[in-house]
Structure 1
Amino acid sequence: MVSSIVILIICLVGFAAIHSLLASLPFKRFIRRSLGSRADELYMPVYNLIAVITIIPLVYLLYKNPGEFLYIVPSPWRWLMVGGQVIALIVGPRALRDAPHRFQLKAQLSAPNSPDSIHLNIHGVYRWIRDPFLLSGLVIMWLTPFMTTNLLIIYILTTIYLIMGSIHWESRLVAQFGDEYRDYQKHVHRIIPRLKAYYDK
């Protein structure tokens, strides 16, 4: 059991290391210097593909070595949990569609008020929540209608990684959008959706 947990943690750390490297600004600068404007179109699809490929070993090992079951949620509650997961799965792609400008390499590497800078442009799901990816990730994990020992450990470690990544990502957004984003942070919570939609001033 201990060896299976260690292997799972190694796989998760490997995924996190690759994910963090590819998302780092030095790597993005290297990609843009190498590919020029083509990097803006190619980066996100390739990044997402690599993320899927590198998470597959972890998913497979969890499937083969789930550990002891801690609980299984009975019906009808399990279907409510699955429904919440489905909604969270919809939010992720919607968040990408609502703010594609946040993920453009040229804009990410620019400073506020520089020639390449862009407006924050808050709309869609971002009017209610600052980090829909963090919320959807947490919901998908913790609404799983069953729990095992190995799954619990991976979920805890992944939660820590997602929160740290969200904090780092927001520091990037502050550097990219400056006071625009600081004002936005004052009105919209990171993961708790607000009842009233936020609008740009």
Structure 2
Amino acid sequence: MTGPQAMNNYLASGIRYAALLFGTTSLGAFLLFLFAGSLSIIEFGLRDKQLLWLDAGLCALFFIQHSWMIRTSFRRRVSAFIPPEWYSAVFAFVSGITLLAVVGLWQQSSWHIAAIGGPYRSLLRMLYFLSVAGLIWGVRSLRFFDPFGGREIVYSLRGKKPKAMPFAARGPYRLVRHPFYFFVLIMLWVSPDLTADRLLFNVLWTIWIIVGTVLEERDLVHELGNEYREYQKRVPMFLPFTS
């Protein structure tokens, strides 16, 4: 193995592990945030209106980064200096950093809108954990799950190309076309303690998820053609049993 090739392989492995580290850490922090609310890691001492603007800006940072980098046109533009087989891992790495920024810098408002106690609080908590179980169900229903782009790098290091997986609807994909988004939406809204910042977070993320899903559907139709159109006719986008 030549020097440049060895260096390239080391760099590819480094990107792979960085994506895994920041990806898993950010997802864990995000799930904790959805359950417990603001982690109050850093407090800037802002007034409520000011901190809500900051929180909105953090959401916008993640939305813009994620939405730009996931587009095929952006991926094509950066292919001159990011190898295609590295791109998914780079995307996961950068997304992990921005998501950690959202969770770590998020400011909690003192404006309390609602607080649910008693058995209803326990019910909401149960719905949260059922949604987590739903996410796990969704992962297990897939033949492979590579959210951090490591699979493409491993195949590249072995001089192979990953096999294209046929489209198939299993598990929760038989109920809704986007089960991961469905369960995340539930997790957003089952918080028993609703502050102004949490309401802002829920509204912005709900809008972004819905708009992003509509755009993603266009890409899937373009990629899979009539097979996905038939799937759209059979299975609803978000709400089970509504097609």
Normalized against structure 2, the TM-score is what?
A: 0.64
Conservation of the 8 A alpha-carbon contact between 1:117 and 1:176 = no
Residue 71 of structure 1 aligns to a residue whose secondary structure is: strand
Which of residues 104, 118, 123 in structure 1 aligns to 2:170?
123
Structure 2 stretches lacking a partner, 5+ long:
1-47, 153-162
Which of residues 178, 182, 185 in structure 1 aligns to 2:225?
178
Residue 52 of structure 1 is matched in structure 2 by 96
Go from structure 1 to structure 2 and tell me whether the alpha carbon gap of 1:174 and 1:96 turns closer, same or farther (over 3 Å shift): farther
Deviations 1:126-184 (A, max 9, x none): 11111112211210110011100121112111111010011111111111111111111
Residue 66 of structure 1 is matched in structure 2 by 109
Q: Which has the larger radius of gyration?
A: 2
Conservation of the 8 A alpha-carbon contact between 2:139 and 2:145 = no
Go from structure 1 to structure 2 and tell me whether the alpha carbon gap of 1:102 and 1:188 turns closer, same or farther (over 3 Å shift): farther
Residue 154 of structure 1 is matched in structure 2 by 201
Go from structure 1 to structure 2 and tell me whether the alpha carbon gap of 1:49 and 1:90 turns closer, same or farther (over 3 Å shift): farther
Conservation of the 8 A alpha-carbon contact between 2:51 and 2:109 = no
Residue 35 of structure 1 is matched in structure 2 by 83
Higher mean C-alpha displacement, 47-56 vs 18-27: 47-56
Normalized against structure 1, the TM-score is what?
A: 0.77
Conservation of the 8 A alpha-carbon contact between 2:141 and 2:170 = yes
Structure 1 stretches lacking a partner, 5+ long:
107-115, 196-201
Conservation of the 8 A alpha-carbon contact between 2:177 and 2:235 = yes
RMSD across aligned positions (CA): 2.9
Higher mean C-alpha displacement, 186-195 vs 127-136: 186-195
Deviations 1:14-51 (A, max 9, x none): 11011112211123345667425x44xx72x5534433
